[in-house]
Amino acid sequence: MANDIPDPQPVCNPITSSAIFIVATLTAGAEPAERVRAWCADIAALVRSVGQRVPSGNLSCVCGFGSSAWDTLYGSPRPASLHGFREFGTEGRRAVATPGDILLHIRAEHMDLCFELATRLLASLGDAVSVVDEVQGFRYFDMRSLIGFVDGTENPVGHRAVDFTIIGDEDPSFSGGSYVLVQKYLHNMSAWNALSVEAQERIIGRTKLSDIELDETVKPSCSHSTLTTITQDGQEVKILRDNMPFGRPGAGEFGTYFIGYARSPVPIELMLENMFVGKPPGNYDRLLDFSTAVTGGLFFVPSADLLEAIADRRP
């Protein structure tokens, strides 16, 4: 990528032990919009203030905006590929769109840092927004989801992570930015655990213990790993996942918060279409027989420079 690309937000930071995901809607009116614009310039300072309490805690925050919120807060120009969340699938197996204007992805090695930053960020916003979803995620053993398989194995690393997630010359007005798609999945653990390990491995397309991809001769075409592998011009197109498990055992709630970053929403949307519709149609991801998407949102993540500049913007 060119050296003059604006500094991105911490999209490519390493996965941490804890995270908080917050989705909020913007209150109607000029005053709430003005308050959110001013808040954008304060985010970086709040992260520094809270993070210095535990310098080794790797505290970070990524802030993204939905399509309609971008029009309200910034106006024109618009990021080239920003649009509302696209739904896929059929009744009972559907990637649903749910309300969301602002996304906060807060990460740290300690939940107290995440909690403190989330508290301060939301206090600054006050009634300018309404929180519609909040999930506290945690690292589960060796980066496993609650269904027992390692999550994020195929993530790009180093400069490849930047190449696959950060916008460059294809949209120069928004270089340094990124797109992020989020979904909250709830798992039917009783039904999943009733399967044999071999059956689970065929659904995922990888071995459960050693996290090795199954041989193509035995891996079903409807496996999760097959349907979420996207190629273009003979090359695999990667996204950066920072998924986190969450749950409330007493309430019987077990889930995965999916969050995927990319320099275009197209590859993530292709993955969802393959999963929920099938490739070909009907050959859908059998993991969806045990996991249900209950939220869905697409957001644009401006560069760190543009995020601060929003404070002085008037649509």
pLDDT in tens, 283-292: 999 999 999 9
* pLDDT confidence tier of residue 232, bands split at 50, 70 and 90: confident
Which token pair is 191?
């039904």
Residue 230, pLDDT score: 95
Residue 86 has pLDDT above 90, yes or no: yes
Asked whether residue 180 is domain-assigned, the answer is yes
Asked whether residue 13 is domain-assigned, the answer is no
What is the Cα–Cα distance from 126 to 24, expressed in whole angstroms? 12
169-196 average pLDDT score: 98
The overall average pLDDT reported for the chain is 96
Phi-psi bin for 141: left (phi > 0), alpha (psi -120 to 50), beta? left
Share of the chain above pLDDT 70, in %: 99
Full residue range of the structural domain in which residue 268 is found: 18-312
Phi-psi bin for 68: left (phi > 0), alpha (psi -120 to 50), beta? alpha
Residue 288, pLDDT score: 98
What is the Cα–Cα distance from 97 to 73, expressed in whole angstroms? 21
Q: In Å, what is the CA distance from 133 to each residue of 81, 130, 209?
A: 24, 9, 33
Residue 5, pLDDT score: 82
* pLDDT confidence tier of residue 129, bands split at 50, 70 and 90: very high
What is the Cα–Cα distance from 55 to 76, expressed in whole angstroms? 38
12-41 average pLDDT score: 97
Asked whether residue 51 is domain-assigned, the answer is yes
Amino acid at 154: E
Q: What pTM was estimated for this model as a whole?
A: 0.96
Instruction: Determine how β-strand 129-138 pairs with β-strand 244-248.
Output: unpaired
152-181 average pLDDT score: 95
Backbone angles phi, psi at 262, to 5 degrees: -160, 160
What is the Cα–Cα distance from 263 to 265, expressed in whole angstroms? 7
Which token pair is 48?
């520094």
Asked whether residue 45 is domain-assigned, the answer is yes
Asked whether residue 107 is domain-assigned, the answer is yes
Asked whether residue 3 is domain-assigned, the answer is no
Element holding 51 (H helix, E strand)? helix 43-51
Asked whether residue 10 is domain-assigned, the answer is no
Residue 24 has pLDDT above 70, yes or no: yes
Residue 233 has pLDDT above 90, yes or no: no
Residue 12, pLDDT score: 96
Asked whether residue 270 is domain-assigned, the answer is yes
Residue 270, pLDDT score: 97
Annotated catalytic residues are: 151
Residue 96, class by beta-carbon neighbours within 10 Å (0-12 exposed, 13-18 middle, 19+ buried)? middle
Residue 236 has pLDDT above 50, yes or no: yes
Residue 3, pLDDT score: 57
Phi-psi bin for 26: left (phi > 0), alpha (psi -120 to 50), beta? beta
Query: Residue 6: how many CA atoms within 13 Å on its side-chain side?
Result: 20
Domains contained in the chain, number: 1
Residue 1 has pLDDT above 70, yes or no: no
71-93 average pLDDT score: 96
Q: Which residue has the tokens 């006050």?
A: 126
Q: What is the pLDDT of residues 241-282, one digit of tens each?
A: 999 999 999 999 999 999 999 999 999 999 999 999 999 999
Residue 66, pLDDT score: 98
SS3 content of the chain, % helix, strand, coil (to 5): 30, 25, 40
